[in-house]
A and B are shown apart, each in its own frame.
Chain A
């Protein structure tokens, strides 16, 4: 029964969104982590999402004469986490313990406002996936009561 697939799909969405929430939390927590060189400074991290196709799950069905369509899909996966290439903030703070010989410290390229918006977006998407899962659950429970009355 393909109702079970909905659980997998919504579950994959929840995993992806919670990972996105995780990177956001990490970015915000490290927003003020200063360091003395550019390569040691924390950079904002972003997950990259990609759709899962059903043909990836069942390789045996690939290459069929007419079944070349990808099917309804099987959720979302996180392809990787990339670091932002935006410019780091260089501030002149000679009193900072991590200041370099010229008196500069480097702050991460985390945009806190952007991260907050991202956080709201991902928690909404997470909720949406939970709603889907609840609907699928009640649909499944109904089908179990078929012919009982």
Chain B
């Protein structure tokens, strides 16, 4: 049986990638906290993980042309949604800086959790390879 490193690491590598993408979106919200007309965005993390799981189970589609739809777990922006504002401001901006910052921090913590899992997997593989 061939060892597949992709499968050995499980879902965690996709989770980590998803966390990075979410951090990027939230950082962009915060950078645009004072931009008139900017609409706050966020990713649908569950949909992203679902896609990752589907592609891991072997039912993912491959792109053979650049204008094909990107169905890879992190490639498409279809999970990128707009936030429903609690209190939109007069200039059309829907970023709530405090909430976004809280989400960013929480996302960073979740990133650390995913990282710990991934690190555990890697050290497990290392242990298995060294035969201890």
Contacts and interface: CB of A to CB of B under 8 A. Distances in A.
Contacts of B105: 135
Interface in A1-17: 1-3, 5-6, 9-10, 12-13, 16-17
Contacts of B68: 65-66
A128 interface: yes
A17 B97 CA distance: 14
A129 B32 CA distance: 10
A10 B105 CA distance: 15
Interface in B16-75: 16, 20-21, 23-25, 27-28, 30-36, 38, 41, 43, 66-70
Q: What's the interface size class on B, roughly?
A: 35 or more
A3 B20 CA distance: 6
A141 B69 CA distance: 34
Contacts of A17: 34
Contacts of A66: 67-70
Nearest to B36: A49
Contacts of A125: 33-34, 97
A80 interface: no
Nearest to B125: A147
A149 B124 CA distance: 11
A73 interface: yes
A59 interface: no
A10 B104 CA distance: 13
B31 A9 contact: yes
Contacts of A10: 27, 30-31
Interface string A124-139: 0100110110011011
B67 to A, nearest CB: 4
A72 B33 contact: no
Nearest to B107: A135
Contacts of B34: 16-17, 20, 49, 76, 121-122, 125
19 contacts: A1-B20, A10-B27, A13-B31, A13-B32, A17-B34, A49-B32, A49-B36, A51-B35, A72-B25, A74-B28, A76-B32, A125-B33, A128-B101, A132-B104, A138-B108, A142-B115, A146-B119, A147-B123, A147-B126
Interface of A: 1-3, 5-6, 9-10, 12-13, 16-17, 20, 48-51, 64-67, 69-76, 121-122, 125, 128-129, 131-132, 135-136, 138-139, 142-143, 145-147, 149
